[in-house]
Amino acid sequence: MNNIAVVYWSGTGNTKSMAQAVAKGSGGTLFTADSFGLDNMARFDAIAFGCPSMGSEQLEDSEFEPMFEAVKSALQGKKIALFGSYGWGDGEWMRNWEADCLASGATLVCDSVICNDAPDDDALAACEKLGEALK
């Protein structure tokens, strides 16, 4: 079994609920963005990153994005998965984030999971499957 981290930022609790479902599916360890960094990367075989869309469809910029930028150099060859919620737009932030991860050499193990506002049962089930894909 892989050692899996589930790293997230949540402002309203929507992405936190998704992260908990990912952790349930993966058996992974939950981290908030402010408690994870480059020093953690080598400990994990796979990582799920969760962040909602903010502003004009971008990652949260005070905690999550600085952490993600700091660990991006260690994504080469790493198995990752992405998830998050949004309140407007069409998911452009996720498509941009996926492209950024692929350009950094990460391996996306499954389709990303996004949901509009609070995750419903289908979104939470998709998050569990995302977690299982990291094993």
For residue 119, which of 24, 20, 14, 19 has the smallest C-alpha distance?
Answer: 14
CB 57 within 8 A of CB 92: yes
Q: What is the 3-state secondary structure (H, E, C) of 48-90?
A: EEECCCECCCECCCCCHHHHHHHHHHHCCCCEEEEEEEECCCC
Residue in the structure block whose two tokens are 């569990």: 128
The pLDDT value given to residue 92? 92
- Burial status of residue 39 (CB atoms within 10 A of its CB: 0-12, 13-18, 19 or more): exposed
pTM for the full predicted model: 0.97
Taking only the tens place, the pLDDT of each residue in 10-30 is: 999 999 999 999 999 999 999
Other C-beta atoms lying within 10 Å of the C-beta of residue 53? 24
* DSSP-assigned letter for residue 6: E
One-letter amino acid at 77 equals G
Q: What is the distance between the alpha carbons of residues 18 and 128, in angstroms, rounded to a whole number?
A: 8
27: phi then psi, degrees, rounded to nearest 5: 75, 15
Token readout for 70 is 């700091």
How much is the average pLDDT of 59-85? 96
Tens digits of per-residue pLDDT, 26-52? 999 999 999 999 999 999 999 999 999
Q: Which of 25-39, 82-96, 99-113 has the lowest mean pLDDT?
A: 82-96
- Quote the pLDDT of residue 85: 95
